[in-house]
Structure 1
């Protein structure tokens, strides 16, 4: 009864799609794909995702693994995160699971905790176009808030790409497909649900997501999905900087950062994200440096090695720091103060667009600030540098500079050898001091006051 009421209240959809885009199936025409067809390997499912769906179903609710996890399972990839969609409200989900918490403002979600694993649970979403829900839309069409609940059909219609509008039920092992997503995945196509222009205006971050998923999954963008992106690139100016930063992290840490950067430039999206990145990539040395950094990041991600966001953004912005550093020195600043001024300037420019978290920008500045110290190879300074908490990150950064041709390879090799030796061998590697130590200025003694002569 309640579900039928919700369907009547929140029935509705975005504006009619243009020619060339697929329309949504009606609620009665959902395609139920059995396990013998989709062949999803249950061993790739997380324990937390199974326990979450089972717990909700035992409590009398519908619950499915949804979105990117299902898409990755169909592509025979192991998902990193599992999301669950249900007809239970956040409060009801919270009551079912003792270790859970409600989060979010734009759309309320529940995080269900199982040991170190967190499963994100969302209530089926309704149309934000209805007046009766907790929704707010900007004049541009961007969704500001959409706490609107609806049916599973409504929820499928609200999702961005057909490949992400798939629902997997671990109990029956069936996949529910409302928008031909299974067919598109089999054909290697990434397609927007509904009218792409309308959907991009609702949430401009979808343009970045389209680029990222296309590069990461090897899916070709549908022509109707791809065409509006360059024309709507300026819409990203209205997106909160914190959301842009989160999406950029996903893009550069996808394991396919190089393809993503090329696609960003191809679709005219780079100016609104890293305004200086295009300038860097047009400089021969800067392009080589960034290419090496992204290649290194991709290799580490694909090998399941840890990657530092601080290190990544430090590499992307380094040549802008170099340019500003030289300008400050040309204007009469001494090298070290000039470097610190350059670092602050570049970070301030980026903060307006990306809102790089302070914990990351602080580490970025440490990595940059340590670079001049690698050229000091005499006395006690090299020993002190080895003990610095950020030495390893700064050393890796130095090697990138050497490999790109910015610095001689001999410098990087010296530090590699110095770190791998000890005792007398390390002492023998030290270079003679290039300047004589400054003589300490002797303080003049005050002469005692003369005693007055006796009368």
Structure 2
């Protein structure tokens, strides 16, 4: 869906913001992290302007609990570091200050200026640097005013500032109206903004899904046209973006929206091709069930592992290569090992999966045949494998999604619930059944030869 709201054009330099006094908005300091308040007040007391900005302000205005609190200021990163002993500067493309309070990190960013505010050599009068290649931002450290900072942010609902000086909300881009109407709108020309950073297309889908907002007309139309720009994003950067998309508690809705806008196939082309050739609802049911289970775990406060998500998303491409290799005479386990390497290598052209996640993914895949071997000590040893639980969950998801594995899933589920004596009895029964089937096959073979 879309609406007819037109993009607000920047009038940087002479555009007065709409300032909402404390009585005109719902944000209370009682709902802001104590550590974020410490950062805001110390910056203010040192003579700098200090504001909460971004998702934290947006969520507070919507009555949601923010995941984190980001601060924007006219202090430069080095000045922030001098104010806070517990501060570390990070980032090359986008220089930031992180102020550490135990497990909580308050991110502090200096107000940025438009990217055309720099000289040919990349130096600016205020000490920042920017570099743009082919319309994409490569480095972005051009410091400016709060107004300039607002106009260069991505979406209007993320460009609202809570000013600790007088507890007002400052709005340059019409973000408050968009919040009230449930609209997600890119600031400026959507095509230019997507070309500056194609990851904004993924962010548009993620925020619209998370907030239950609709994309405005211009934001949506450009999104439908410019998906191939994602192929220019460094594969290492996209790994974390995918985690944000699918590990936020609404992964299934996000998956459906990405496919609707033609973006999923840009980052997972092998999986998209497999989804186009599904049989009896599989593999799309498998991916949907896995994402739904992940959403339920996140919403109930349980942990999730990126390796499991990526193993699910790439399983069908792996299965396809395994089938080809086995048709050529390769045994199942070597075929799985070979296929895993092939698919990970191909996927790395689009998303680079770190080794610490790629290795568990391959273990999950390579353990799948062992769930069909329910005999003796081998089955009991599988229970003690460090990757058993993830592989078992994966196996049962396959069963629930259309593969003929229901009997095996039920057997392994029961095996985990009984005591050791019953476990031994179960594997002994499975062993006897296997030997009986082998004798019957042998007799048929002998009879046929006769």
Matched, 1:304 2:294: no
Give the Å deviation of 1:371.
1.0
Tell me the equivalent position of 2:104. Answer: 117
- Asked if structure 1 preserves the Cα contact closer than 8 Å seen for 2:364 and 2:387, the reply is yes
Distance in 1, matches of 2:231 and 2:96, equals 26
Matched, 1:341 2:338: yes
- Asked if structure 2 preserves the Cα contact closer than 8 Å seen for 1:281 and 1:290, the reply is no
The 5 A counterparts of 1:47-446 are 47-132=34-119, 133=124, 134-139=129-134, 141-170=135-164, 172-282=166-276, 283=278, 284-430=281-427, 431-432=430-431, 434=434
Distance in 2, matches of 1:43 and 1:380, equals 58
Matched, 1:23 2:9: yes
| Greater CA drift, 328-337 or 30-39 | 30-39
Q: Highest CA radius of gyration, 1 or 2? A: 1
Give the Å deviation of 1:435.
5.9
Distance in 2, matches of 1:92 and 1:131, equals 21
Distance in 2, matches of 1:117 and 1:257, equals 25
Give the Å deviation of 1:37.
2.1
Unpaired runs of at least 5, structure 2: 437-450
- Asked if structure 2 preserves the Cα contact closer than 8 Å seen for 1:25 and 1:179, the reply is no
Which stretches of structure 1, 4 residues or longer, exceed 6 Å deviation after superposition?
A: none
| Greater CA drift, 309-318 or 126-135 | 126-135
Name the Cα RMSD after superposition.
Answer: 1.6
Q: Residue 117 of structure 2 aligns to a residue in which SS?
A: coil
Distance in 2, matches of 1:328 and 1:305, equals 38
Distance in 1, matches of 2:21 and 2:216, equals 26
Distance in 1, matches of 2:45 and 2:398, equals 58
TM-score by length of 2: 0.89
Post-superposition CA distance 1:263-303 (Å, at most 9, x none): 21221212210112223333121011011011111112222
Tell me the equivalent position of 1:451. Answer: none
Q: Residue 245 of structure 2 aligns to a residue in which SS?
A: helix
Give the Å deviation of 1:41.
4.1
Q: Residue 432 of structure 1 aligns to a residue in which SS?
A: helix
| Greater CA drift, 163-172 or 246-255 | 163-172
- Asked if structure 1 preserves the Cα contact closer than 8 Å seen for 2:44 and 2:165, the reply is no
TM-score by length of 1: 0.88
Give the Å deviation of 1:130.
2.0
- Asked if structure 2 preserves the Cα contact closer than 8 Å seen for 1:25 and 1:178, the reply is no
Unpaired runs of at least 5, structure 1: 1-18, 437-455
Q: Residue 145 of structure 1 aligns to a residue in which SS?
A: strand
